[in-house]
Amino acid sequence: MSILTHKEKKELITRNLQEVLGEDKLDAILKERDLKIYWGTATTGKPHVAYFVPMSKIADFLKAGCEVTILFADLHAYLDNMKAPWSLLDLRVQYYEAVIKAMLLSIGVPLEKLKFVKGTDYQLSREYSLDVYKLSSVVTQHDAKKAGAEVVKQVEHPMLSGLLYPGLQALDEEYLKVDAQFGGVDQRKIFTFSEKYLPQLGYEKRIHLMNPMVPGLAGGKMSASVEDSKIDLLDTPATVKKKLKKAFCEPGNIDDNGLLLFVQHVLFSLFEKGEGFVVNRVPENGGNKIFYKYEELIEDFKSLQLHPADLKATVEKYINQLLDPIQKDFESSHLKKLSSAAYPIPTKEEDGPERLDIRVGKVVEVSRHPDADTLYILRIDLGEGEPRTVISGLVAFLTVEELDQHLVAVLCNLKPAKMRGILSEGMVLCTSNADHTVVEPLIVPSSTAPGTRLAFEGYNGKAEEQLNPKKKIMEKLFADFKTDSDGIAVWKDSFLLTPEGEKLTSKLANCFIK
């Protein structure tokens, strides 16, 4: 095997990256020795096909002679708005290690050249803990919140854990003894946070290597918490076909196309010399064609010479090739049991909370009820074309200005009922203290669109068209619908979530919701 030059190593390390911070330092190190890099992943939702993007870069780093450490950031997973319960942290790490090793082997990356580390193996040490305290004495709340804005789940009233997250990720660079950290461009603010604050603790500023973010199948970020946005590593070929068929792939659009970026950052980086992207199609559609350069593929797609259906069919073929060895690994009973244990399916009740049709609404008009001093008449946009009328007893607790144009959570499948002569078509969900002197609507994440369906974590069944009042379904379900000790809306132990995984909250903790 030929020895690579400094220039060739740098080209491998930086190809397909969106940004490099500290390029001068990168050049200086490569002139003397190989680079030490770490990539970390918080062990939260199940890894999906977009993880092949960092995996293919790890392959590049190894080809360039780099020492690579993969960090399973279990403590970070808990700190990120408790996306991984403490009781499941160790199981999630085991699952991530098994899956990521299988992914790396499926693309021909030798595992013996990699170092695997679990965060809590060193992050609970005395030295690390003292550095966390030192860091907290120099970092402002503003900087901590800003640093985590693109990575940590943002809620109306953030937990202290989310503010600690960026600092821990910065300290990892020092404790893993690396020259560089690699991650997605969504981590840029954490990387610049690290460059600002590590020197204040007497530690060296590191190099930062950033991948672009691969859009999800429906556009936007590919996310483990949004089912239709991603292909799971254990999805069957039939499921892959179904998801790709629905994927956003507008003819000629090369700017917001997750399939094209997947081809660029994964497939083309894995092709050996002389290999290309093979599109099989009937003669009337142009016949078979091999693209040896990504730029050629882009040009054909942009000029409409490559149809989205043919692109989807070809990507489907390559994805199934990548997934096949992973799925064969997971046919073993041990890995099947590990998957079930790390991601348990909540036990469904006969009267489970998925029967409630809870949606985000925007109050577009507020007026006083002409025949009831304590009632408002709310006109609420629920994404249905025409606003619904909802009668609410909030006059004593909120002004018109505090309600008008605000987002609320609305129970939409109650049987419509007249209240003092006016038909009410839903109920605004609120919390109240023990003596009902304080009542307030649940706080909805500000980025959520009117009409968005909310769901309880682990419960994705179809809501009742209309709740039958004779069966008292609502009364049974609402006995377990409350805010927890942190003011987060839950049914039993399941969070009420937006499709993006954001939680609904309240200023009132340990209170019933109704």
Tell me: the pLDDT tens digits for 145-195?
Answer: 899 888 776 555 667 888 899 999 999 999 999 999 999 999 999 999 999
Domain assignment present for residue 226? The answer is no
In a domain, 1, yes or no: no
- Domain for residue 219, yes or no? no
CA angle (254, 256, 262) in 5-degree steps = 80
Asked whether residue 151 is assigned to any structural domain, the reply reads yes
Please give the chain's pLDDT, 514 residues, in tens: 468 999 999 999 999 899 999 999 999 999 999 999 999 999 988 888 889 989 999 999 999 999 999 999 999 888 875 666 778 889 999 999 999 999 999 888 888 889 999 999 999 999 999 999 999 999 999 999 899 888 776 555 667 888 899 999 999 999 999 999 999 999 999 999 999 999 999 999 999 999 988 766 655 555 554 455 578 888 899 999 988 888 888 899 888 788 898 888 888 888 887 889 999 998 888 899 999 999 999 999 999 999 999 999 999 999 999 999 999 888 877 888 898 898 887 555 456 888 899 999 999 999 999 999 999 999 999 998 899 999 999 999 999 999 999 999 999 999 999 999 999 999 999 999 888 889 999 999 998 999 999 999 878 777 888 888 777 778 888 888 999 888 999 998 789 999 888 899 999 998 999 8
Same domain, 262 and 361: no
Please tell me whether residues 334 and 366 are part of one structural domain: no
- Please check whether residues 24 and 130 belong to one and the same domain: yes
Please tell me whether residues 65 and 142 are part of one structural domain: yes
The residue among 311, 342, 373 that closes a domain is 342
Token code pair at residue 311: 């692109």
Range(s) of the domain holding residue 106? 6-211
- Beta bridge partners, 496, equal 456
CATH of the domain at 479: 2.40.50.140
Last residue of a domain, one of 342, 376, 395: 342
Cα(166)–Cα(197) distance, rounded to whole angstroms? 11
- Does residue 395 sit in the same domain as residue 327? no
Rounded Cα distance, 105 and 108, in Å: 5
E-assigned strands of 133-274? 180-184, 207-211
Domain count, the chain: 3
Same domain assignment for residues 98 and 189: yes
User: Would residue 246 count as lying in a domain?
Assistant: yes
Tally the C-alpha atoms within 13 A of residue 314's C-alpha that lie toward its C-beta. 23
Residues 184 and 45 in one domain: yes
CA separation for the pair 284, 302 (Å, rounded): 19
pTM of this structure: 0.66
Query: Is residue 222 in a domain?
Result: no
DSSP, collapsed to helix, strand or coil, labels residue 76 as helix
Return the exposure string of 219-240: e unless at least 16 CB atoms fall within 10 Å of the residue's CB, then b: eebbbbbbeebbbbbbbeeeeb
Q: Are residues 83 and 166 in the same domain?
A: yes
Show Cβ contacts of residue 15 under 8 Å, excluding neighbours closer than 6 positions: 60, 269
Dihedral class, residue 5 (left if φ above 0, else alpha if ψ from -120 to 50, else beta): beta
Residues 30 and 124 in one domain: yes
CATH of the domain at 293: 1.10.240.10
In a domain, 225, yes or no: no
Q: What whole-number distance in Å separates Cα of residue 109 and Cα of residue 196?
A: 34
Show which of 175, 193, 211 is a domain's final residue.
Answer: 211
In a domain, 230, yes or no: no
Structure tokens at 366: 């507020």
Q: Whose structure tokens read 């081809």?
A: 263
Which residues lie closer than 8 Å to 370 by C-beta, 6 or more apart? none
H, E, C per residue of 195-233: HHHHHHHCCCCCEEEEECCCECCCCCECCCCCHHHCCEC
> Does residue 171 sit in the same domain as residue 283?
no
Exposed, middle or buried, 185 (CB in 10 Å: 0-12/13-18/19+)?
A: middle
Residues 253 and 279 in one domain: yes
- Rounded distance between C-alpha atoms, residue 114 and residue 29, angstroms: 20
Do 411 and 306 lie in a common domain?
Answer: no
Structure tokens at 188: 């840029």
